[in-house]
Chain A
Amino acid sequence: MAILGIFQRGPIKHAVLSSGQVTPDPARCVQCGICTYNCPVDIDVRAHAWRGEPVIHSHCLTCGECVARCPRGALRFEKTDLFTRRES
């Protein structure tokens, strides 16, 4: 399941609404802030990206705005493994 987030970035959106999170790749991020700028609930996604931490935030809608707008592909949906062990 670990590859799901990479190969199904578009369609996966609905699948992860309840069980996914936005995960940054800091090496791709240049801190431009487009993600934070476009977040409808004002989460500082950029700060998460700097720290390399997934956006685990009670207000996150997993709406996908930040993932779609990032010009450098620094954000992706990743399935959380609350009930299953990670494979990688």
Chain B
Amino acid sequence: MNDKLELNNITKLYKNVGVKALNNVSATFKMGEITSIAGENGAGKSTLVKIIFGIVSPDSGFIKLNGKEAHIHSSQDAIKHKIGMVFQHFKLIEEFTIAQNIALGRAKKKHLLFTDLEAINNEVQALIDKYEFKLKATTLVKNLSTSDKQIVEILKMLYREAEILIFDEPTASLSEGEAKKLFKTINKLKSKNKCIILITHKLKEIIKLSDKILILRKGNLVGKYQAKDLDQESLAKLMLGDDTLINHDAIHEKLSNETILEFKNVTLKKHYQAQPLLNDINFTVHKGEILGFCAVSGNGKGVLEAVLGGMMKVSSGSIIYNSKDITRLQASELRKNGLAFVPSDRNFYGSALQATLSENLIINKRDSLKQKNKIAKNFISKYNIKGLSHQKMGTLSGGNIQKAIVAREIDNMKDYIVFSNPTWGLDINSTNYIHSKILELKQQKKAIILLSSDLDEIIKLSDNINIIFEGKIAKTFNNNIPVSKKEIGKYMLGKGIK
């Protein structure tokens, strides 16, 4: 087998930050093979694939395709060279059909000028059938599930006859079941002799799926391995370098009976929708308890997050905080009552990327604006945030942005805090740091609500686990008795419910 794609001494320096994202990286990729690129956040994985796809241009080094040097200066060039990429955030037009989405930019014409819609539909349907997907070319994309949308992304590349397919964190927004389906698809593509490049930081996926693994650490390629030679632990060690893995075991001691927050028959229904978004939700969170929630997306976890943060109002039922009714309070009033809330969308809700770090840190303390810099410095040193107080938030790494948000919210907390996907997209070090903070809060007898799509995280930290399905709490597990992911997964898909 010949090398399909060859990277030669690729170096990239981000001048304004002064960070060497990639240092002399050379690697080869073969047809019919799945190559994973593993590394922590900021190791340079994304930069590397962006260079292959032409979005970022390297400072030095070159790319060879089929043994010949290729000049890829834009994604258009990459597409011409039969390179395709499935982005973490889908690049689809919801208002168009599958076929229109796929044919956009290269639609067939009839009578010289007009779109030949029929020909496009047939062609796309033929492609769908060839790869045995269960989709109809004329369906509107907005009516598709997340995993089907991802398939449309893949079809888009196949329609453009891509031979090299890059996946950037493809399972980030998928449920466990959906992820399994995706792996089957990726293996199918492999069997059709495509060259597949995969970025993910889920170690298990890397080992299970790949043939070859490239490991990046701080911009350097530190190793090339056959997947069969590695296990999760050794892979993690390679990615982290000298750092050792810290493994917390949740302290499942006897819980206090003191209730901090209680949901009583909470229902949220829009008058035009048949199904309530939240249906008769009841739970209590006690002092020193971590209460976990998990669900497949679209089942009401996001709505619950919005309700807890005061962004959405419930239709009936009540929310009681320290025997005070807070059901009708606005976000600003909840904040005054000591709401602490780490939202799942840290860039959209959790921070203002164009504002400085100190401006971001002070939002809950804006009455004492004069001490802005002092407060910020305090946070930065206490939480070990790598950034300067006058630095723009958007120039911080993802892990440090999240640390800043967590620091700010813990500081505003009275007795309870809500975490939603607190470690989504973070590397192992930042994840461990945030998990240790959450456990620290538990020891301080705070009440903690943890919403997460990461089942490992839920099982590792929670005392009790609630599973939401179609707006209802389908099942509550007590985590003192070990629960298996399989068991939880069953309820998440609504199978265990009568």
Verify that A and B bind, or say they do not: no
